[in-house]
Amino acid sequence: MRTLLWVSWLNLLRDKVALGTVFVLPVIFFSIFAAIFVGMSGGGGGGSSAVQKLNVVALDLDESRVSQSLLGQLQSTTELELTVQRPSELTQAKNRDDIRQEVRTGKYNAGLVIPADFGRHFPDFAGQGPAIELIYDGANPMAKPMIGGVMQGSAFTAAPDLMMERGFEFLDQNAGWFLTDQQRTILQALQQQLRDATSLANNENSDESEDTNATDVGLNALNGLVRISASEARDDTDRAQQQNQAKRKRSSMTAYYAAGIGVMFLLFSTAGAAGSILDEEESGTLERVLSAIRSSQKLLLGKWLFYGLMGVVQLVIMFVFAWLVFGLDLWTVNHAVGFALMTVLTAAAASALGVMLATICRTRAQLNGVSTVVILIMSALGGSMVPRFVMPAFMQKTSKFTFNGWALDGYLNVFWYDDPNHSLVQSVATIVPQLAMLVAMTVAFLLVARSAAKRWEVQ
């Protein structure tokens, strides 16, 4: 038994790849996931600066002191990266549909539309005032609850004087016996102090703050201190279509996971299949084939083509299954064409990566170790395992260097950020950067493979 343990240890010790797989890979993975989840909680060495802020646009149609104060408070939070747009400052008029479109296309994670009468009714305890419209991207399930919570928190500190004034007015109207004249006088003095303090605080947050009529206030306690009407960026306002919208949402999330898991396993299967090149090298079959065809380029292209076709079939099976079982919206012209383009180029790039790894490695064992490390890291960073929107900002940037990141972005553009009103050409145009990057990756991988395969050529 002692001898067996000793021999096993020596074998492991002398196989550097296996050693790395056993001891280094788990640490790398731990680090990646720790970075993701520590970043989410704002703890750890990265601190709150590492947390990915939600990118939000706000259209302030009210432009009152209250709306400006509220938006100023939101801008000062660590959770949001808020861009405020005011009609008085815009060269071109905007409306809620423009905001919706910007969220739909992925420019912002969410949009806020402050209605024109918002300030006059704030705080509207009676629930009669207009609601702030929150338009969110359903691809980011954290957006809606996070912004809602931040909004309610900010509302407490946005205009405390108005809250108190309108609160007591509300009580006075509904229970007039509540305050004496003396109490009312004291409260008016306190209200003035709060107004001054708020004005000072807002000036610190935003130079754009300006005094407005203090009587333009209201109150609504329906959702807290501000009433929020939330809608998904892809939802239409027609309530009759809600059922279809829910279906679309499910379909889009299915597309996300089909793409994420599909791309990861595509990489595993192509890398595994490409290992047959090494098996053939070891058995002497490769030498025999090369003696017959006299070209390692032909060999590589043949292998690449086969693994690419295999990858296409694999992805088609994955998405057709998603269509059959999970109702993925695959059969619109825009989706089908986008899917076809993405699938062919994704499979081509994955195949090229597999061939490259197989030519770089000298043995099947090396390939297994290296491909496992490369694929798992790319999948983790690229969003195949964990949605990228939960990752810290620096990790989201890192994903741009991964195969999975680009492939996933392309599929999301096809199935998620699509605009039903787009023509086929417009729809395809949205994935051109991803397609171009996949082509570039394919070429780069094949060139590296070509270089590494020179060892099989005439010596």
Partner 1 sequence: MQHVLQVEGAERRFGSTHALCGADLHVLAGEVMALLGPNGAGKTTLIRSIVGRIRLDQGRIEMFGKTICEGGSAISPDQHTFARLGVVPQEIAVYPDLNAMENLRCFAELQGMARTEIQEQTAWVLEWTGLQDRAKDLAKTYSGGMKRRLNIGCSMMHRPQLLLLDEPTVGVDPQSRQRIWEMLQQLQREGTSILLTTHQLDEAQQISDRITIIDHGKTAASGSFDELCQTTIGLQRRVIIVSAQPIAPESLPTWEVDQHLAVCRVNNVATELADVLAVAKQAGVPIRDVQIEAPSLQAIFIHLTGKELRD
CA angle 357, 27, 380 (to 5 degrees): 55
Comparison of 237 and 291: residue with beta carbon closer to partner 1: 291
Is 292 a binding residue for partner 1 by CB under 8 A? The answer is: yes
Comparison of 132 and 277: residue with beta carbon closer to partner 1: 277
73-81, 83-91, 154-162, 281-289 -> range binding partner 1 (CB under 8 A): 281-289
* Least distance (Å) between residue 306 CB and partner 1: 13
Is 288 a binding residue for partner 1 by CB under 8 A? The answer is: yes
Comparison of 237 and 459: residue with beta carbon closer to partner 1: 459
66-74, 120-128, 189-197, 277-285 -> range binding partner 1 (CB under 8 A): 277-285
Comparison of 11 and 283: residue with beta carbon closer to partner 1: 283
SS3 track for the chain: CHHHHHHHHHHHHHCHHHHHHHHHHHHHHHHHHHHHHHHHHCCCCCCHHHCCCEEEEEEECCCCHHHHHHHHHHHCCCCEEEEEECCCCCCCCCCHHHHHHHHHCCCCCEEEEECCCHHHHCECCECCCCCEEEEECCCCCCHHHHHHHHHHHHHHHHCHHHHHHHHHHHHHHHCHHHCCHHHHHHHHHHHHHHHHHHHHHHHHHCCCCCCCCCCCCECECCCCCCCEEEEECCCCCCHHHHHHHHHHHHHHHHHHHHHHHHHHHHHHHHHHHHHHHHHHHHHCHHHHHHHHHCCHHHHHHHHHHHHHHHHHHHHHHHHHHHHHHHCCCCCCHHHHHHHHHHHHHHHHHHHHHHHHHHHHCCCHHHHHHHHHHHHHHHHHHHCCCCCHHHCCHHHHHHHHHCHHHHHHHHHHHHHCCCCCCCCHHHHHHCCHHHHHHHHHHHHHHHHHHHHHHHHHCCC
Is 1 a binding residue for partner 1 by CB under 8 A? The answer is: no
Is 297 a binding residue for partner 1 by CB under 8 A? The answer is: no
Is 41 a binding residue for partner 1 by CB under 8 A? The answer is: no
Distance CA 382, CA 229 (A): 33
Comparison of 16 and 454: residue with beta carbon closer to partner 1: 454
Q: Cα 67 to the chain's mean position, in Å?
A: 29
Comparison of 15 and 279: residue with beta carbon closer to partner 1: 279
* Least distance (Å) between residue 239 CB and partner 1: 59
Is 290 a binding residue for partner 1 by CB under 8 A? The answer is: yes
Is 283 a binding residue for partner 1 by CB under 8 A? The answer is: yes
190, 194, 221, 289: residue in contact with partner 1 (rule CB under 8 A): 289
Is 284 a binding residue for partner 1 by CB under 8 A? The answer is: yes
Is 128 a binding residue for partner 1 by CB under 8 A? The answer is: no
Q: Which of 333, 325, 347 is nearest to 403 (CA)?
A: 347
285, 297, 426, 451: residue in contact with partner 1 (rule CB under 8 A): 285
Is 240 a binding residue for partner 1 by CB under 8 A? The answer is: no
* Least distance (Å) between residue 7 CB and partner 1: 23
Site residue total, partner 1 (CB under 8 A): 13
Is 301 a binding residue for partner 1 by CB under 8 A? The answer is: no
Distance CA 86, CA 84 (A): 7
Is 316 a binding residue for partner 1 by CB under 8 A? The answer is: no
Is 455 a binding residue for partner 1 by CB under 8 A? The answer is: no
Is 176 a binding residue for partner 1 by CB under 8 A? The answer is: no
Distance CA 421, CA 242 (A): 18
* Least distance (Å) between residue 266 CB and partner 1: 23
Comparison of 27 and 292: residue with beta carbon closer to partner 1: 292
291, 331, 421, 425: residue in contact with partner 1 (rule CB under 8 A): 291
Is 93 a binding residue for partner 1 by CB under 8 A? The answer is: no
* Least distance (Å) between residue 273 CB and partner 1: 13
Is 293 a binding residue for partner 1 by CB under 8 A? The answer is: yes
* Least distance (Å) between residue 382 CB and partner 1: 33
* Least distance (Å) between residue 268 CB and partner 1: 20
Q: Cα 208 to the chain's mean position, in Å?
A: 31
Residues facing 57 on adjacent strands: 83, 111
Distance CA 252, CA 403 (A): 21
Residues facing 281 on adjacent strands: none
142-150, 173-181, 283-291, 385-393 -> range binding partner 1 (CB under 8 A): 283-291
78-86, 107-115, 139-147, 288-296 -> range binding partner 1 (CB under 8 A): 288-296
Comparison of 173 and 295: residue with beta carbon closer to partner 1: 295
Give the interface with partner 1 as residue ranges (CB under 8 A): 283-285, 287-294, 458-459
